[in-house]
A and B are shown apart, each in its own frame.
Chain A
Amino acid sequence: MSENKFYLRMEGISKAFPGVQALKDVNFYVARGEIHALVGENGAGKTTLMKILTGALSMDSGSVSLKGSQVEVNTPTDAQQLGISMIHQELSLIPNLTVGQNIYLGREPRWKISAFIDWNRLYTDSQDLLSQLDVDVDARAEVGSLSIAQQQMVEVAKAISLNADLIAMDEPTSSLTDRETEVLFDTMRSFKKRGISIIFISHRLEEVFEISDWVTVLRDGSLIGSEPIKDLDEERVVQMMVGRELGEMYPKGDVQRRGVILEVNNLHDGRELSGVSLELYSGEILGVAGLAGAGRTALAETIFGVRPAITGDIELDGSPVKINSPGEAIRLGMGLVPEDRKQQGLFLNRAIRENIVISALGKLSRFSFINFSKADKLAREFAVKLDIRTPSLRQLVRNLSGGNQQKVVIARWLTLNPRVLILDEPTRGIDVGTKVEIHALMNQLAEGGVGVLMVSSDLPEVLGVSDRILVMREGKVVSEFSREHATQDNIMHAATGGKVNNDK
């Protein structure tokens, strides 16, 4: 390997956090104009490596060189000046500012030799940038009013405006629909042609194989391999990531579908749902697919009583029920694993055991006092059952990886033995290994007679896990497919209404 072949060379990078060696002597090379996928399970060190590259974290040892000369990246500003940009997993835009203000934050154009911002130039420049990227967004619009996909494109515009020639993207597709992902990929390909290098972090291997030229795999903070994509296949990458044979990605036993457990008729919430009807059988996994904004989350939340239903009936085990709050849904034997586990699903600053037992406190208490030894026992039982990996159940949930956090949310519902479990994006942002475990768990629940309703934007997951698939569009269920007849194509066809929608 010649010295100057690589645009970026990171060598011997090590970084320790209290109690964990996040990176161990990692080498990472990126060529000019290359889309380089960086993959690994949660906690493998991908984000840490990128944070070091972009100056958000300092390394304990190692060196970084760009275009053959060694550089010091101590702050995000250093990185910017060196032409390195990062698009963070949690979008780092400020919702109350406009698109243009976000793009030029910290380097606002001034009126000639004055202390004042030249708003006209700021907005014309940002609008130019956006149109260069073919993004139909008003530079004066507040970022908070944009869709996630639009915000992502604003982030990309911001990176471009920094004259970045190395852009690191941490899971940019995790909240995009397939169509939005394609738009992003087109943009990435055009950058590549302009000689811009892109580091692409993703848990979705199909995407990695679709877009990348090269793949680097990290595991437990160590470099496992770095190879051109053409020399690899998915199975091999997964094996490198998890360090073992994973078996089948979507194992599926023979399901014994029993009677209808949940029936929903003509559900309206006055906003996103316009008459949804469905039947959920005991012992099945019912997948709900659709584009962002089709009303899938609204459906999950309305059934569970998070949002009020305007009209519509819900029947549980054949008898009509009125669900006006999550509390009532829980008492009826339902559970919801919400879309945003950090905001809606967890008490991040509380211990794992508290998070697990919180919904079961009723049966753990006598005369209003909590029986802590019983609570501990229950928490331990489910932590073991779900293989939540942690040194102690007193550990704060904040410190767990995304996959383990999701297991905690699921464990909480399992303490209540629900009859209906609704999961909204159960594996978003979760590594392959844990993903398989969560899928296996869902299967196990279904086998035990639970009705499982799964909302997911991850089509391979919907296809792989569901017994039956409903497709939603514009607040309605528009199609139903059996497991045998569902394909990526016919689901997308149904979700988009059979035509490619250009304005969203």
Chain B
Amino acid sequence: MTNSIVNRPLDILRRFSVTIILLCICLAFALGSSDFFTTSNLLNVALQTSIIAIVAIGMTFTILTAGIDLSVGSVMALSGAIAAGLNVRQGFDPFVAIGIALLIGMLIGAINGLMIIKGGIPPFVATLAMLAIARGLTLVYTQGRPIAGLDERFIYLGTGQIMGIPVPVFIMVVVAIIAHIVTRYTPFGLHVYATGGNEEPTRLAGVSPDRIKLAVYIISGFTAALGGVLLAARLWSAQPNAAVGWELDAIAAPVIGGTSLFGGVGTIGGTVVGAFIIGVLSNGLNLMGVPSYYQQVIKGVVFILAVSLDILTKRRR
């Protein structure tokens, strides 16, 4: 008991350490480039980050159950393509088209979940296969060509502003608040943490870990699809190779934000901050003229540092 009291200041420091790191990075860039700390640039960073943050929030749920969803990048491309295709080729109302695209994202999530719980396929493998399948379906559906000519209302979702703030940033905030409430205040949220902590006692407590897992992959499919739709809207078109490799950022954000890849530990707030660290890094490095090839390397190194931190704290327990 004395332990917990002694560790409290340390715990608080640890709890906000990621935010402190984010602020330090911001400070460093603000000193390094006069263009960084301007309203327009900060809004730009928020816009750049918002889509990855939305996808990363869904990813957080899967990682909390000690799973992972590698298919998010492909699901983004597929749902963006379907929403765009239905809107442009079939003349669907953009919101109906988007609704269908989101449902397809959830369906793919459900298939991922079923492969994992019914088939006993490890999440890594099941969603890696889905990464290939969804990308392949995107190429089939788009025939390898971009789908342009979206309805204005569709494009508004990616490029519009409300009171000077980009729409995707608003959507991210809403998604983050809902996800925060779900993880923090609902039995479902607690059961997600429980499943990631230890499945057998969760089952013995009368909670079905399988249902929880199915739900988290559906959530991840949904947020990936939402991210994909917003990406298409921002680019005015659905690209067949949209979001290639985005699963790295979507996984890195929660992990940098303190979500443990071993499951059971992590917060939505942390994920949003983690996404912003990635966003600010690439923005700041751009402003300082660092070539994008180097940025990839830096991103990878930051990711490894975050994972090492997770492993170190885990070992200390």
State the A residues within 8 Å of B (CB): 56, 75-77, 80, 88, 92-97, 101-102, 105-108, 110, 115-117, 119, 136-138, 141, 144-145
25 A-B residue pairs with CB within 8 Å: A75-B206, A76-B203, A76-B204, A92-B198, A93-B198, A94-B198, A95-B197, A95-B198, A96-B193, A96-B197, A97-B194, A101-B193, A105-B191, A105-B194, A105-B202, A105-B207, A106-B206, A106-B207, A107-B206, A116-B181, A116-B185, A116-B186, A141-B1, A141-B4, A145-B3
Docked-complex contact A117 and B196, CB < 8 angstroms: no
Interface residues on B, range: 20 to 34
A115 with B197: in contact, given A76-B203, A105-B202, A141-B4 (CB under 8 Å)? no
Complex partner residue of A94 from B186, B197, B206, CB under 8 angstroms: B197
> Contact mask B51-85 → A, CB, 8 Å, 1/0?
00000000000000000000000000000000000
Return chain A residues, CB-CB under 8 Å to B202.
94, 105-106
> Contact mask B173-191 → A, CB, 8 Å, 1/0?
0000000010001110011
Tally inter-chain residue pairs, CB-CB below 8 A: 77
Return chain A residues, CB-CB under 8 Å to B264.
94-97
B300 within 8 A of A: no
Return chain B residues, CB-CB under 8 Å to A94.
193-194, 197-198, 201-202, 264
Complex CA distance for A93 and B194, rounded to whole angstroms: 9
Besides the known contacts A95-B198, A97-B264, 10 further A-B residue pairs in the complex with CB atoms under 8 A apart: A56-B204, A75-B206, A80-B206, A88-B204, A94-B194, A96-B193, A115-B187, A119-B185, A141-B4, A145-B4
Distance in angstroms from A148 CB to nearest chain B CB is: 14
B205 within 8 A of A: yes
Complex CA distance for A101 and B197, rounded to whole angstroms: 12
Return chain B residues, CB-CB under 8 Å to A56.
204
Complex CA distance for A164 and B204, rounded to whole angstroms: 15
Return chain B residues, CB-CB under 8 Å to A116.
181, 185-186
Docked-complex contact B186 and A115, CB < 8 angstroms: yes
> Contact mask B192-222 → A, CB, 8 Å, 1/0?
0110111011111111000000000000000
Distance in angstroms from B122 CB to nearest chain A CB is: 15
Complex CA distance for A76 and B202, rounded to whole angstroms: 11
Return chain B residues, CB-CB under 8 Å to A137.
1
Docked-complex contact A93 and B206, CB < 8 angstroms: no
Closest 5 CB pairs of A and B: A92-B201, A106-B205, A96-B264, A94-B197, A77-B206
Distance in angstroms from A115 CB to nearest chain B CB is: 6
Which applies to chain B's interface (DSSP): helix, strand, loop or mixed?
Answer: helix
Complex partner residue of B190 from A88, A95, A108, A138, CB under 8 angstroms: A108
Docked-complex contact B206 and A76, CB < 8 angstroms: yes
Complex CA distance for A218 and B38, rounded to whole angstroms: 77
> Contact mask B1-30 → A, CB, 8 Å, 1/0?
101100000000000000000000000000
Docked-complex contact A97 and B193, CB < 8 angstroms: yes
B317 within 8 A of A: yes
Complex CA distance for A145 and B202, rounded to whole angstroms: 19
Distance in angstroms from A382 CB to nearest chain B CB is: 33
Please name the residue on chain A nearest to B187 by beta carbon. A108
Please name the residue on chain B nearest to A56 by beta carbon. B204
Return chain B residues, CB-CB under 8 Å to A105.
190-191, 194, 201-202, 205, 207
Complex partner residue of A96 from B3, B186, B196, CB under 8 angstroms: B196
A138 with B1: in contact, given A80-B206, A116-B185 (CB under 8 Å)? yes
B265 within 8 A of A: yes
Return chain A residues, CB-CB under 8 Å to B3.
145
Docked-complex contact A93 and B1, CB < 8 angstroms: no
Please name the residue on chain B nearest to A94 by beta carbon. B197
Complex CA distance for A116 and B186, rounded to whole angstroms: 5
Complex CA distance for A117 and B185, rounded to whole angstroms: 5
Return chain B residues, CB-CB under 8 Å to A77.
206
Return chain B residues, CB-CB under 8 Å to A95.
197-198, 264
Return chain B residues, CB-CB under 8 Å to A117.
185-187, 190
Please name the residue on chain A nearest to B189 by beta carbon. A117
Return chain B residues, CB-CB under 8 Å to A93.
198, 201
Determine which residue in A77, A80, A97 has the highest number of CB atoms from chain B within 10 A of its CB, and name it.
Answer: A97
A144 with B205: in contact, given A97-B193, A117-B186 (CB under 8 Å)? no
Return chain A residues, CB-CB under 8 Å to B201.
92-94, 102, 105
Docked-complex contact A136 and B1, CB < 8 angstroms: yes
CB proximity to A under 8 Å, residues B287-317: 317
Please name the residue on chain B nearest to A122 by beta carbon. B190
Return chain A residues, CB-CB under 8 Å to B194.
94, 97, 101, 105
Return chain A residues, CB-CB under 8 Å to B207.
105-106
Complex CA distance for A116 and B264, rounded to whole angstroms: 20
